[in-house]
């Protein structure tokens, strides 16, 4: 079996990185990522049989806010996101993606990131990574499909927020939940994705949402945060209903897929976390699951 070599890519290999991205994910987000977030030192590739076969990126994404009630007096810790891990189809099953993820986690440790997060692209990968890395299931979401015919009339229309203003509003709404606190640059990438797909960062009253259009018939509300949403779920949240109705006015569709914070044990698993052992005590889970937020998926 050929040796697997993990290393940083060379400058002249960016076209090969773009090829892997396009082959695995399509072109969505590719130009925006390389424009705003790409850093050669934070990218690792797996070289197999003298060619680049897999890749992954480490994105400094902000902080993980621990024990929001300050009961353990633990400050937020620097967080990096493992993003866009991809292996060319003809080279899958060889452990190349795992090699890249492990190398990215070493890179994160060397750069003093106490927390590393990952949002697996499918359910089987949760078990896969938990068996092979220090990443564990930690983040859960409430994800519901709301059909247009069940949406009421909008009371007010949403207004567009900048990345900086969305960051500020988001933190106020999540102040009582353990969560991933994004920095402005990371959310600027989300803005570019929204612009590319059709969508945006919005404020509706005292609530906020990240919106992306998947197709003419389907719109994603990839993060819906309301004052009542800190209690988990959208089913009985009148604020959430108002936000969905306002988004529907701007983005007509047959259905809306809505993600919001969930009660512990009630949502689906969404993200994984590797956290410095000395900080585990600060990862206090109340009746609301820790919140990952958008995953740029």
CATH of residue 58:
3.40.630.30
- Mind giving me the DSSP string for 225-292? E-TGGGGS-STT-HHHHHHHHHHHHHS--SEEEEEE--BTTTSEEEEEEEE-GGGGGG----SB--B-
Provide the number of structural domains found in the chain. Answer: 2
Whether 62 and 185 have beta carbons less than 8 Å apart is answered as no
Q: Quick count: other Cβ atoms within 10 Å of Cβ 59?
A: 23
Residues 14, 99 within the same domain: yes
- Residue 156: beta bridge partners? none
Question: pLDDT category, 236, cuts 50, 70, 90?
Answer: low
In a domain, 231, yes or no: yes
φ/ψ of residue 60, rounded to 5: -60, 110
What is the average pLDDT value for the chain, to the nearest integer? Answer: 92
- 27/193 Cα distance (integer angstroms): 11
Residue 285's pLDDT is 64
Residues 154, 110 within the same domain: no
Of the listed ranges 109-113, 124-128, 194-198, 237-241, the least confidently predicted one is 237-241
Residues 63, 161 within the same domain: no
Task: List the structure tokens of 4.
Answer: 């697997």
Domain C-terminal end among 118, 139, 160:
139
- Residue 6: beta bridge partners? 46
Residues 117, 230 within the same domain: no
Residues 90, 184 within the same domain: no
- 56/113 Cα distance (integer angstroms): 17
Residues 118, 23 within the same domain: yes
In a domain, 133, yes or no: yes
In a domain, 18, yes or no: yes
Domain C-terminal end among 80, 111, 139:
139
Question: pLDDT category, 207, cuts 50, 70, 90?
Answer: very high
Does residue 73 register a pLDDT over 70? no
Q: What pTM was computed for the model?
A: 0.93
Residues 122, 227 within the same domain: no
Residues 232, 253 within the same domain: yes
- Mind giving me the DSSP string for 97-164? HHHHHHHHHHHHHHTT-SEEEE--SSTHHHHHHHHHSS-EEEEEEEEEEEEGGG----SS--EE--HH
Question: pLDDT category, 85, cuts 50, 70, 90?
Answer: very high
In a domain, 276, yes or no: no
In a domain, 277, yes or no: no
Domain range enclosing 202: 141-260
Does residue 21 register a pLDDT over 90? yes
Residues 147, 99 within the same domain: no
Whether 238 and 214 have beta carbons less than 8 Å apart is answered as no
- 21/258 Cα distance (integer angstroms): 26
- 290/144 Cα distance (integer angstroms): 18
Top-confidence residue, 282 or 193: 193
pLDDT tens digits along 124-173: 999 999 999 999 999 999 999 999 999 999 988 999 999 999 999 999 99
């Amino acid at each position: 079996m050929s040796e697997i070599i993990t290393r940083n890519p060379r400058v002249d290999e960016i076209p090969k990185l773009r090829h892997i991205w396009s082959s695995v994910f399509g072109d969505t987000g590719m130009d925006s990522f390389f424009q705003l977030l790409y850093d050669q030192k934070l990218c690792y590739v797996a070289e197999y049989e003298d060619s680049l076969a897999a890749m992954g990126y480490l994105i400094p994404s902000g902080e993980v806010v621990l024990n929001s009630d300050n009961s353990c007096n633990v400050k937020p810790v620097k967080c990096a996101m493992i993003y866009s891990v991809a292996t060319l189809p003809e080279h899958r099953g060889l452990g190349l993606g795992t090699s890249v993820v492990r190398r990215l986690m070493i890179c994160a440790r060397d750069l003093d990131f106490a927390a590393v997060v990952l949002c697996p692209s499918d359910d089987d990968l949760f078990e896969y990574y938990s068996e092979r890395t220090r990443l564990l299931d930690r983040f859960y979401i409430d994800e519901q499909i709301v059909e247009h015919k069940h949406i009421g009339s909008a009371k007010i229309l949403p207004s567009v927020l900048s990345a900086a203003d969305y960051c500020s509003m988001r933190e106020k709404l999540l102040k009582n939940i353990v969560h991933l606190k994004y920095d402005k640059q990371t959310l600027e990438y989300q803005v570019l994705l929204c612009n590319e797909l059709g969508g945006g960062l919005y404020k509706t009253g005292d609530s906020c949402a990240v919106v992306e259009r998947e197709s003419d018939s389907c719109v994603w509300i990839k993060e819906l945060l309301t004052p009542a949403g800190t209690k988990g779920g959208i089913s009985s949240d009148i604020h959430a209903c108002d936000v969905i109705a306002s988004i529907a006015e701007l983005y007509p569709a047959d259905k809306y897929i809505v993600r919001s914070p969930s009660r512990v044990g009630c949502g689906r698993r969404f993200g994984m976390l590797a956290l410095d052992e000395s900080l585990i005590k600060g990862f206090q889970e109340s009746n609301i699951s820790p919140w990952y937020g958008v995953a740029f998926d």
